[in-house]
Amino acid sequence: MGNVVFKYGTLIRMGAKSYSGGKWDADLKEEVRNAHTNADLCIQIRVHFAKIDPASGRTGLYGDWDDKPDHPSKRRIQKWAPNEFEHFTGRLVREAQHFWNGVFWLQTPVRYTDLNWPDEKPTHRCNLYCRFELKKAHTDADAHYTIAVVRVQDSDVFRSDAKLYSQKDINSEQLIPHSTVKFWTHFHEVGHLLGLGHIGYAGHHNLHNDGSDRAYGVSQQEMRDVMGKGHIRHPWHASPWQEAAESFTEIPAKDWTVHMHHIAPARLAA
């Protein structure tokens, strides 16, 4: 059997560990293409979940998102039960990967021909199927992100952020007034890891480093977004894959049209 020649290597985002989002690796797997199958564009994120137990004993205090020098906010935490931490992190990874994997397709611009199939005398223009892999890293050094995770009383209030979770973050919440649309913290926070900001409001879109209430949306439509207070996905959420496509192909991200339904390889004119 002949050697398989790969056109694209792995895109590795180098640099210091990021907490603001947008640090990941990506692969463009063109070898899966045929007349019916698009190429896979897969983004991978590795997270090291650091288990936080009280410094001593069964319970203790730990600062949540609101804990600032001028505004102390220490919350009571408790020791993780045997296997409880592993069950939590495993469920978080499975559910968040399922939520973001296989949602988008990027339509290949006509002027880009390197995804045409077959390589010799091509008959079809293949598109990009957006895949996502979320993996647990065993060490901090192997992770794109390190996230501390605490165990609090189920009835207690604990505000998480991009680098601090609690076991409550896989539960649904009802945050939008007069709406049945639910919110899941882990779907939202993994969106941040991908590099997405908050939905914003009134044309102020994809807001980074803005945790104000209006950054989560003002109108019902804005708040329903997963990067607001809901769980609805929209084409703008595909921007990390568009950025990866640009890095691999040098075709601008904006030229990779986003679809939220399957688009088959296009037959080329004879």
Q: Which of 199, 208, 189 is nearest to 228 (CA)?
A: 199
Q: Which residues touch 98 (CB under 8 Å, ≥6 apart)?
A: none
In whole angstroms, what is the distance from residue 27 CA to residue 249 CA?
12
Instruction: Look at residue 25 and tell me whether its pLDDT is greater than 80.
Output: yes
Mean pLDDT across 49-62: 95
Structural tokens at position 169: 């973050």
Question: What distance in Å separates the CA atoms of residue 75 and residue 178, rounded to the nearest whole number?
Answer: 30
CB 150 within 8 A of CB 161: no
Average pLDDT over every residue of 29-41: 97
The pLDDT value recorded for residue 14 is 55
CA distance 87 to 4: 39
pLDDT of residue 2: 43
C-alpha atoms less than 13 angstroms from C-alpha of 179 in its C-beta half-sphere: 19
* Residues sharing a CB contact under 8 Å with residue 87, sequence separation 6 or more, in sequence order: none
Residue 214's φ and ψ, nearest 5 degrees, are: -70, -20
**pLDDT above 90 coverage of the chain, percent:** 80
Average pLDDT along the chain:
92
Alpha-carbon distance of 165 to 83, in angstroms, equals 17
210: Cβ contacts below 8 Å, ≥ 6 apart: 197, 198, 200
Residue 252 has pLDDT above 80, yes or no: yes
Burial status of residue 50 (CB atoms within 10 A of its CB: 0-12, 13-18, 19 or more): middle
- The model's pLDDT over 178-235, given as tens digits with 9 standing for 90+, comes to 999 999 999 999 999 999 999 999 989 999 989 899 999 999 999 999 999 999 999 9
Helix (H, G, I), strand (E, B) or coil at 188: helix
Tokens coding 142: 């192997």
Q: What is the pTM of this model?
A: 0.93
pLDDT for position 40: 98
What's the rounded mean pLDDT across residues 123-134?
Answer: 98
**Spatial distance between the Cα atoms of 147 and 151, rounded to a whole number of angstroms:** 13
Pairing of strands 39-51, 145-152: parallel
At which residue do the structure tokens 């809901």 appear?
A: 230
Closest to 134 in 3D by CA, of 173, 163, 92, 172: 92
54 torsion bin: left (phi>0), alpha (psi -120 to 50), beta (else): beta
